[in-house]
Amino acid sequence: MRITADQRRRRLVVHQLALGVGRPGRPEATTPEDVTERLVALHATDAPSVHLAVLARVPGLTLDDVRDALFVRRSLVKVLGMRRTMFVVRRETVPVVHAAAALTVAGRLRARLLKELATLPTDPPVRDPEALLAAAEAQVHEALVTHGPLDGAQLSRAAPLLRTAFLPTTAKAWDVRRTMTSPLLAVLSAEGSVVRGEPRGAWSSPRHVWSPMTDWFPGGIPETDEEAARVELARQWLEAFGPATVADLKWWTGWSLGQARRAVAALDVRQVELEVGPPGAAPVVADGMMLRSTDLDAALDPAVDDVVEGHVALLPTLDPTTMGWTARDWYLGPHREQLFDSAGNAGATIWWQGRIVGAWTVRPDGEVVWRLLEDVGADAEASVAAEAARIGGLLGGVGFTPGYATPLYRELRA
């Protein structure tokens, strides 16, 4: 069976973008938790992206709705997981991500930090990296238990060993004095002993507080078998992102190819041919897969034409859909150089009927500005303008600065 790029884009709209529209067998999403469940995980490295990813998909939800899910109900949790990336997942999914991805990341981060403490010049000098790390961890946990949620600066004052600094070893501009605060908090976050909490100040602020994970899970994150967790995470991902390739799954999870193949082997999947080339080009086909339970016909049914045709979305930096596959030409087309930075991070994108056609951003004064990279017609332009106005209204005229600057982003902000 071959699944065309156009069919994949139709399914993408129905399953990942137009979540506020219900259909038989798949009710509309009405909460931030619903959106997160449909997408498995929301990228959270860039603070505003979580809120904007939700607002883009369900008209009627607000910034406060997302905040309440994260920090009042705590039904959504920030975890350092796949690919050493910060994500937001449903509370029920935390044990799966923790066992399937985070613990492996934690081991690598801890080993790297110990190696740096042993080999790089520090101030003060470190004679026993293991002992220093254990003492610094104890200070962090004591500070959080004693004082409550603290941001990085507050923690470094309450836990003085965090101020242990790595000294420059070259004359390069990026090689500067840096403390142990950020790398150790990354280790503890991946290990599941601390959790990133609410930002200080505005909803979009990158300055956040840390709390003990026991504030979210009083008994700690429930233990889950690692192999079983990988199978479950692969199942959830295929349900949301399939049909896809094993290479896509490997990239998204950060697993080895062997780990991805073993997880897939435990699932009831169907092998298919996937068109992975750009819109309008000669078909490029790759070996793909999807769960046998995938309701592909529902996404292709003419009954959803009114959902797909004319659908527009303004997705944020590092949106889970934009970053969902490693082979992206079938929805990205020729726009990679303008919409991604040199490290492969996606900027904020405009989607039209399941493919990327432009970029947008919010200026410091709150104005939403955008640019199309191809001619999609007057009706599409009007729809983009209306969606930009809707998003701008939800932000209340308040601007913010995304954490990743793409070439087109710099032009729009000028």
Domains plus CATH for the chain? 114-195+203-215 (1.10.10)
C-alpha distance from residue 137 to each of 157, 183, 265, 310 (Å): 14, 12, 39, 53
Give the separation between CA 217 and CA 233, rounded to whole angstroms.
20
Predicted confidence at residue 292, as pLDDT, reads 87
Say which residues have a Cβ less than 8 Å from residue 311's Cβ, sequence separation at least 6. Answer: 13, 17, 18, 351, 352, 353, 354
Give the separation between CA 104 and CA 81, rounded to whole angstroms.
9
Give the separation between CA 202 and CA 271, rounded to whole angstroms.
47
Bridge partners of 151, per DSSP, are: 209
Predicted confidence at residue 16, as pLDDT, reads 95
**Three-class DSSP category at 162:** helix
Give the separation between CA 301 and CA 17, rounded to whole angstroms.
17
Predicted confidence at residue 298, as pLDDT, reads 63
Predicted confidence at residue 297, as pLDDT, reads 67
Say which residues have a Cβ less than 8 Å from residue 134's Cβ, sequence separation at least 6. Answer: none
C-alpha distance from residue 59 to each of 45, 326, 347, 387 (Å): 24, 29, 22, 10
Bridge partners of 88, per DSSP, are: 42, 78
Per-10-residue mean pLDDT for the chain, 414 residues long? 91 93 82 98 94 96 97 97 96 98 98 97 96 98 96 95 95 91 97 95 91 95 97 97 96 98 96 89 88 75 81 97 96 94 94 97 91 96 97 89 87 85
C-alpha distance from residue 9 to each of 162, 313, 410 (Å): 47, 13, 28
Predicted confidence at residue 280, as pLDDT, reads 76
Give the separation between CA 252 and CA 233, rounded to whole angstroms.
11
